[in-house]
Amino acid sequence: MQDRCTRDKPELVWRGRSPIPSSRKVAEERPIALTYNGSTYAVMMASPVDLMDFGVGFSLSEGIVEHGGDIISIEVVELELGCEVRIWLDDSYADLLANRRRAMVGPVGCGMCGIESLEQACPRPTRVVSEGGFRPFDLLEAMRSLRPLQHHNQATGAMHAAAFWDGHDIRLVREDVGRHNALDKLAGAAARAGLETSRGAVLITSRVSVELVQKTARMGVPLLIAVSAPTSLAIETAERAGVTLVGVARDDGYEIFSHAGRLIFGEEDLESAALAGSELLSARP
């Protein structure tokens, strides 16, 4: 079966000597049109896989629908220049769609193309309500377990991943050339699978901008963990949304930017930290 997310392309490799003809897998990137009731709402540049998830997740993240079940039908149509994700809603959504419709081409690094006002860019975030907490070392294990599941990025070195961790295991992973798209696909996959999200975490392999916090809050997920650092507005939004924001996640730890009370630091964790530190010191030459 052909991998629709990657493609082999010829290249020249130069490593200080004569260039050598070679080839490598590169990430596919195509325009994806999202239409509602027959009219285009957005055109995004994305990886042409998991597009049913993308359609559902985009609808939820944009606040077009409140629940995945509000979508009557959805289909993916492949065209010569890209793909259309055709979404059909009840006629009661006609006025909402008419007021919010925007035809746009969004580059993969942009999550707010077409926004027309400051109020639209910074809406009041969804407030996350959850019970229970997380053990600090479990977060490290969650991020470590994500790496071998990034199959497309391992092949191309050019894909972002978003995953849902239920507190014990990674349940879903979605990859895309765009970090916003990857999280939308994850949101759609979680909704379609009917996963309980109020006790888990979203794991992402990118920096944290405000849109990613907003999307996580809409999913009802109380914890967002990223390999890179957040922006100032992302931190402020996480504070308002009740999202525990963890960034700069590395093998030796991470940084907590909001709602640190969800992390349970106990004596057992301190003992584990001391043991891990001793192992690191003994491993040094």
Residues with a catalytic annotation lie at 110
- Specify the residue for token string 């963890």: 246
Q: Which residues contact 151 (CB under 8 A, 6 or more apart)?
A: 175
Among 34, 55, 35, which Cα is nearest to 191's?
Answer: 55
Give the CA-trace dihedral at 159, 164, 167, 168, to 10 degrees. Answer: -70
CB-CB contact of 32 with 82 (8 Å): yes
Burial label, 251 (beta-carbon count in 10 A; 0-12, 13-18, 19+) = exposed
CB-CB contact of 46 with 29 (8 Å): yes
What is the spatial distance between Cα 40 and Cα 77, in angstroms, rounded to a whole number? 14
* Partner residues linked to 225 by β-bridges: 203, 246
